[in-house]
Amino acid sequence: MSRINGVDHDEEEEEEEEEEFKTELTEKFSKLPDELECCNENDQKQNIEEMNGLMEEMDKKELRSVSTIKNFDKIEIMIEKKKMPIENAILLMKRIGCWIAMNHMWIRGFEESSLYKVLEKMIVDTEKKKEEKNEKLLVDLLECYLMLYVNYISEELVVICLPCLLKAASNKEGNEETQKEVEMALLALSRINNWIKLPEEFVFNEIKEIIKYHQECGNLTQLAYQCAWEFFINGLYYEEKLESVVDELHFVREAQSEMNELKKCIDCEKKEHEKEKERNEMKEELILIGWLEVLEIYLSSCNSRNEKIIEVVRSIIQVLRAVKDNHGDIYRQCIQSLGTAARNRDIQIDGLLKSGAVDVFLEKVQQITIEDSNAFSCLEFFVALSRRLKRNTNDEIEEAKRKAAKTEFEVAATTKVRKKE
């Protein structure tokens, strides 16, 4: 789910009746939480891994339907009654949170569950233990909390989570286990939205170093690198220095390079309903959507040189043309990102023309059918452009009137002076 200035971009999906939606996957999943209470510690882990395997195969609608208040409340009750060790509870929450975060979703079920407040309290209590503080436990709790929850985060929790997770994300060891830990920390940080004001020293200095080190040494996974940029751009969203900093770190070039690599791994010819949901390909699709979301955030705030914007828009168009309507979520995010560019008054309209964005939407409009879920977004693109053109025309008329009035005043004043002479 993409959020620009606090606006959800999949509100219609959020309004669906979650618990009424059932498939074979969700039916299997719904039986497993009840079995956790009757298992010993090792069997619980095996059960959790089975749940994770099911979530790997789920689409957004299925994930949302199993991420219910009821299921989150069950986890809280098992923790409270000591029917599940905290290590297993964290493993379960991380598994659920990871897939929710990777699918860019906001799940109301967690926010409205008893687990939400319990997890907040555990974080604060763990942080207060200055001498005996378990930093690994604190990192785990924060990752669960942020991956499951992306709405309002209190200032108290921001102060706790930033130094803790950035320290975890800064680990430069090259082994696979460390890479996974860094990936989880950055995935959690990427969930902090751009309307939450963050202390600049954390966003600007530490994450910048993480990105620079990866560009030199290549220590991050594909997902971790995308998440690092998402957190960085969200954190500096309202700062004037955003564009100069992302230019310094070659953001556009890096995004293009990463998306090109991801495109190679995705079979763009298979139809979405025919394609097997292979684990790696699904993950790469989600990372690619993540890059498109980051580019959308950039396009919503930038006022940079026109040629830089043309590069960004062209890279999105290349992805759009590659997927050829066969990867619905990727295609929708491309359309959405280009629509954001059309609405940004600081992006010149002639730049959109030169990039080929208008041509893409003209082609799409000619193919629109009543059933096409992207029809509204395509038409909205032209509405945004027409409003901006009308505003520009009105501005030009007002400017012409102002100049005419000024000229008339100057002529009258000059005439008056001459008469006096």
pLDDT higher at 141 or 404: 141
pLDDT higher at 205 or 389: 205
Q: How far apart are CA 341 and CA 357, in angstroms?
A: 10
Neighbouring CB atoms inside 10 A of 235's CB total: 23
pLDDT higher at 402 or 294: 294
Q: What is the Cβ-side half-sphere exposure of residue 361, based on CA atoms within 13 angstroms?
A: 29
pLDDT score, position 305: 63
Q: How far apart are CA 117 and CA 112, in angstroms?
A: 9
pLDDT score, position 30: 84
Average pLDDT estimate for 386-394: 70
- The alpha carbon of residue 236 and the mean position of all alpha carbons in its chain are separated, in whole angstroms, by 15
Beta strand segments in 234-315, E: none
For residue 204, what is the DSSP state? I
Q: What are phi and psi of 273, to 5 degrees?
A: -75, -15
3-state DSSP of 66-118:
HCCHHHHHHHHHHHHCCCCCHHHHHHHHHHHHHHHHHCCCCCHHHHCCHHHHH
Q: Which residues pair with 7 in a beta bridge?
A: 4
Percentage of the residues of the chain whose pLDDT score is greater than 70: 80
Query: Predicted confidence band at 17 (pLDDT cuts at 50, 70, 90)?
Result: very low
Q: Does an H or E element contain 8, and which?
A: strand 7-8
Tens-digit pLDDT profile for residues 174-227:
789 999 999 999 999 999 876 677 777 767 788 999 999 999 999 999 999 999
Tens-digit pLDDT profile for residues 323-358:
866 678 898 899 889 888 888 877 888 778 888 888
13 pLDDT above the threshold of 50? no
Percentage of the residues of the chain whose pLDDT score is greater than 90: 34
Beta strand segments in 89-204, E: none
77 pLDDT above the threshold of 90? yes
Tens-digit pLDDT profile for residues 349-376:
877 888 888 888 888 777 766 566 667 7
Q: Are 187 and 100 in contact (CB under 8 A)?
A: no
Q: Does an H or E element contain 173, and which?
A: none
- The alpha carbon of residue 315 and the mean position of all alpha carbons in its chain are separated, in whole angstroms, by 18
Q: How far apart are CA 141 and CA 123, in angstroms?
A: 6
pLDDT score, position 421: 55
Which of 8-12, 23-27, 37-41 bottoms out in mean pLDDT, i.e. has the lowest?
A: 8-12
Q: How far apart are CA 21 and CA 273, in angstroms?
A: 18
